[in-house]
Amino acid sequence: MSGTRKAVSETSSRLPPPSMPNARSMRDAHRFVRPILVVVPLLGLILGFGTRLAGLGQWSGTIWAAATIPVLGALLVEIVASLRRGDVGLDIVAALSMTGALLFGEHLAAAVVALMYAGGQYLESFAERRAEREMTALLGRVPRTAVRYRDGRLEEVSLATVAPEDRLLIRQGDVVPVDGVVARGTAVLDQAALTGEAQPVRKARDEPVMSGVTNAGDAFDLIATHRASESTYAGIIRLIEAAQASKAPMSRLADRFAMAFLALTVALAGGAWLLTGDPIRALAVLVVATPCPLILAVPVAIVSGVSRAAKAGVLIKGGQALEALARVRVLVIDKTGTLTHGEAQLSRIQPAAGLSPETLLRLAASLDQASKHVTARALVREAQARGLSLAVPTGIAEVPGEGLEGTIDGQHVVVGGLRYVANTVPGLGRSLDGSRFAAGSVVVAVAVDGRLGGLLILADSLRTEAAQVIERLRRLGMNRIVLASGDRSDVAETVTVGLHLDGVHADLTPDQKIRIVQAEKQHGPVMMIGDGVNDAPALAAADVGVAMGAKGAAASAEAADVVLLVDRLDKIPAAIQAARRSRHIALQSVYAGIGLSVVGMLAAAFGYLTPVQGALIQEAIDVAVILNALRALWGAEPS
């Protein structure tokens, strides 16, 4: 059937990032030329057989030879370009078989090989485009303009001119151009392109919205929080470009395999000619070996796996990361923002006598509307999520980082840390004791009209899916799972109770996290999961670094090999399953394809196959190999 225009080492370079216009133009040119190179030998074969039926058989050979020459010429150009780059691939076998067939008068075989080669290139290109669809769909959705409010009017402006604090109109069907928060209306967002979520999500006023999602509901206003170049979607696009420029270790293995196969092909062909004196047998061997399924199976399976993971909301930066992800056996995981949510959430309400939990939370959240403190914002969000109607605070006085006081519905309310409330409201010191709460908890005291109203306890709790994900990773063969956290030891120990980890390391600096990763490599390939800037060095040191969420620190996303497009740990097992399946299918296709090709070559060497028969057999092998490799894309959803 076909070869590929270069050794498999060039697989990834066929996928140049959008920032490389020359490479992209070359790629588009190849896609334009490939169908033409298929049509020429196909028409030549039809016309050659037609002349035979018309009694003009003397012209058939000439027509078939003429139909072969354009394909052979294009192939020779590719071979020369590859040799200049230092690449030696199996396309040489295709060139030898076509050249030999023309020299020995096997013009029909030459035309069949030309058709098989050109058709194989086209089929491989189609398979890769099919596998890349989810990746390139993200690139194609990049918005170019935004609709901005200015002086009471709407104007459509270039995305590069949008700045933080700009108010934008997001129309129904628009792709959100920048990160921001909902300013008016309720946003109904389709996040499937980024996270794989099938159901739209709703965002209320002041809730954050990622760029790159689609407005599936009515129009709403958005206040930009980042420039377009700094937004989530821009970061994802940069990561996709890196993924498309990657090269898999399996491809390097294929390079070495290709050289061995090339030597075997030449040896069998030369031996058959030398021992029998029949050059046609040597030609038949070359034809059966054109091309080797090795250079078709690996790239198609790898690109299929990367594409499949992207569809599920996991961005794998190319074949090298996918290959490494398939082999991991040790997990080192960060705590804050990874194993936990990374922000304090209300876990318990302890109202004093005479107040209900809802009333206590409403009073505290109403006053906290006037504060920008992270704990205050958490209480406001919790109250809004519970549907509580918040009052407008008056007479506000705040001590930054400590607490604030003011009037809510005629009542004097004080909200803050235990020390602040005790100092602000005389006589409450003995009532406020935070020692009985778990390590890592944030205790907020509330006083109402000079008396203790109650306590609100917040904690950075485990993700709901954390325990289940760890158990799934165990079933997938993860031998060791250890925590590496910069948080205090007592907090780390408390949070991880019941998770059955193999080790808990706390109070770590970034360089100490690197040492943990390196030490764990004695147990097998290591995957490190983190989200913060302090995790970036450890992510880079691991065999596979995984960054939590597209909105995590830019440094961690850049250092990581894998980026989760949504902050959910349950994406990790699915990504590992997809990687392992793709690697298994690639190797399966390689071994089966090469085995069948060698059998065909031996049959040709012993005279059991003619050059034309050999070409048709190899065509069937190549089709089977590509379809098998595409199973990495079409199989059942990973779970």
How many helices and strands (H and E) does the chain possess? Answer: 22, 22
260 Cβ contact partners less than 8 Å away, ≥ 6 residues apart: none
Using alpha carbons, list the distances in angstroms from residue 492 to 73, 335, 374, 495.
66, 7, 21, 5
Q: What single letter denotes the amino acid at residue 349?
A: I
Q: Which residues pair with 481 in a beta bridge?
A: 331
> Do 425 and 446 form a contact (C-beta atoms < 8 A)?
no
Q: What is the CA radius of gyration of the chain?
A: 32
Cα of 236 vs its chain's centroid, Å: 9
DSSP E strands in 363-410: the ranges are 394-399, 403-408
Max intra-chain CA distance, the chain: 116
Q: What single letter denotes the amino acid at residue 409?
A: D
The rounded distance, in Å, linking the Cα atoms of 618 and 626 is: 12
> Do 562 and 310 form a contact (C-beta atoms < 8 A)?
no
Of 27, 26, 120, nearest to 618 by C-alpha is 120
The rounded distance, in Å, linking the Cα atoms of 204 and 384 is: 10
> Do 171 and 219 form a contact (C-beta atoms < 8 A)?
yes
The rounded distance, in Å, linking the Cα atoms of 304 and 446 is: 56
Name the burial class of residue 27, with classes exposed (0-12), middle (13-18) and buried (19+) by CB atoms within 10 angstroms of its CB. Answer: middle
Token pair 């294009």 is found at 74
> Do 390 and 369 form a contact (C-beta atoms < 8 A)?
yes
Conformation bin of residue 254: beta by default, left when phi > 0, alpha when psi is -120 to 50: alpha
Which value, to the nearest 10 degrees, does the dihedral of the CA atoms of residues 387, 393, 398, 401 take?
10
Cis peptide bond upstream of 393, omega within 30: no
Supply 156's token pair. 């459509």
Whether 334 is catalytic is: yes
Of 255, 334, 460, 487, the active-site residue reads 334
Of 285, 283, 281, nearest to 261 by C-alpha is 285
| Cβ neighbour number for residue 439 with a 10 Å cutoff | 14
Strand, coil or helix: what is 611? helix
374 Cβ contact partners less than 8 Å away, ≥ 6 residues apart: 343, 344
Using alpha carbons, list the distances in angstroms from residue 183 to 166, 204, 354, 399.
11, 9, 37, 28
Token pair 């980042």 is found at 226
Element (H, E) at 457: strand 451-459
The rounded distance, in Å, linking the Cα atoms of 43 and 37 is: 10
Torsions phi, psi for 321 (to 5 deg): -65, -40
Which residues are tagged catalytic?
334
